[in-house]
Structure formats: C-alpha cells, structure tokens
Amino acid sequence: MQIIRRNVGLTVGDSLMRVYVALPKPAGQYPGILFYSDIYQLGSPMTRLADRLAGYGYVVAAPEIFHRLEPIGAAIAPDDLGRLRGNDNASQTAIAEYDADAQAVLDFLKKEETVIPDKIGTIGFCIGGHLAFRAAFNDAVKASVCCYPTGIHNGKLGKGTADTLERMAELKGKLFILFGTLDPHIPEAARTRIMQELVRTGVSHTMSIYEANHTFMRDDGDRFDPAATDAAWTEITGFLSQVFG
C-alpha cells in the first residue's frame, strides 16, 4: 500500500513536540499506532520502520521523544557520542513527561478523521519499547508491540525510577513483546522477570525470542539482522491484524 507523510506539532506543557505521521494513501479510516523510536529519535532507520508499518494499513504517529531537550527535527547519530547524548537526554526526562507525551499523541490519534477511534495501538523499539508498554496503560490502547524494550525489569527509563513492572496489571489490551538472546541490555534474567510478571498479572501477551542482538531491526548498524527482522515483521503485522481485524 502506498503511503503519504506529514509532520504535525503538538504542545505538551510548554514544549512543542514534532510528530512524524505516515498513513496509507487510499482514502479511508485505519487503526492508529503510537510509534516510539529508540534514543536516536527519528532518523531514517526509524522513519523507514514507521513507513513500513503504515504501508500495512495503519496511521502511524511518531513523536520526538526528547523534544524538551533537542531542537525540532534533530536526529541523533548512532555513534559513541550519539549514544552518550541520547542516554543523557533520556536521564533528564521525567517519567511523568514521557507519560504526558503519550497521552497527547493518543488524544491526537483519537481525533484524527483517518483513524478508527476504537482501534489504537502502540509500537516501540529499545527505550521506545518501554514507552510503548507504558502508553498501553491507557484504556484506549488495544494492542502494544514492544521490541527489545529496555528498563522494564529494573525501572530505568528517565529521571527517577519507572514503576512499569509494578503497574503491569493495568495493561488491559493485548501485548506482543520480542527480545534477542544476544541482547546485553536485556539478559535472560531480565526477560524471565518480565515473563513471570506478565503471567502473574494475567496480561494477554505473546512473547517471541530471536537469536539476535539488541536493535536488530535497525538497518544502519552492525547488529542489523535482516532474517530476524523479516520474521519479526511477520509476527508483528499478524498480531496487529488479529487484534484489529
């Protein structure tokens, strides 16, 4: 499916947040997806992922997660300095600010004429996987896809400690979560802890584990795994299709 792209600005508190929007070109209404990038924001590897998802028939809205700290349109280079910069931005952003951003984008999607208002989901990568999980605490979210989400098991997300693990029972929609066995940021013990809590709280979930590294779906780095990425996309799109019909 062909897509169109645009940018919108949402004001959250006293900060203007750019949101990259990709949606199907054919006129109609589609499920809406709140899309979260990794710490490098919306560079071309992330917008390609957003575009690809939109081509399956979704209105994808991707906010700049560090809009309070970075200029509009800033994409952080995925190198050593960029990693330091992105992690510093993450540590300076309050958990409540991340949550406020999620609410703003979800409200935007619910009001968009191209979005079916009762079919809204989230997807995210790395820190964005954690943010997608938290956004799913909102009752409007029916499906959440969390790709190698960092910090859920230990509360590392931003300024302070995130209470995501403790609030897991608040997730009422369906969850698809994927990990890589070679991921140093989410080792086996962390994956086990998350799985045990999902089972304990009765969250409807599917977990997939690939023999792959962290950020294996990002196509500009040496950890990119095309085969695992294709397999993940098959599962992700199948999951979303099953939830949204």
Q: In the block, which residue shows the tokens 């979930």?
A: 205
- Kindly provide the residue ranges of all beta strands, DSSP E only, lying in the chain, ordered along the sequence: 3-12, 15-24, 30-36, 59-63, 115-125, 141-147, 174-180, 205-210
Contact 185, 212 (CB under 8 A): no
Catalytic-residue membership of 51: no
**Which residue in 67, 101, 153, 183 is the catalytic one?**
183
Instruction: Give bridge partners of residue 178 from the DSSP assignment.
Output: 147, 208
Residues ≥6 apart with Cβ < 8 Å to 47: 20, 22, 62
Please pick, among 146, 153, 214, 225, the residue that the annotation labels catalytic. 214
In whole angstroms, what is the distance from residue 128 CA to residue 86 CA? 12
Gap between the Cα atoms of 205 and 88, Å rounded: 32
| CB-CB neighbours of 129 under 10 Å | 26
Structure tokens that stand for 139 in this block: 């009752």
Is 183 annotated in the active site?
yes
Instruction: Write down the catalytic residue from 126, 130, 147, 205.
Output: 126
Two structure tokens written together for 131: 């943010």
| Single-letter amino acid code for the residue at 221 | G
7 residue type, one letter: N
Phi–psi pair at 190, nearest 5 degrees: -70, -45
Residues with catalytic roles: 126, 183, 214
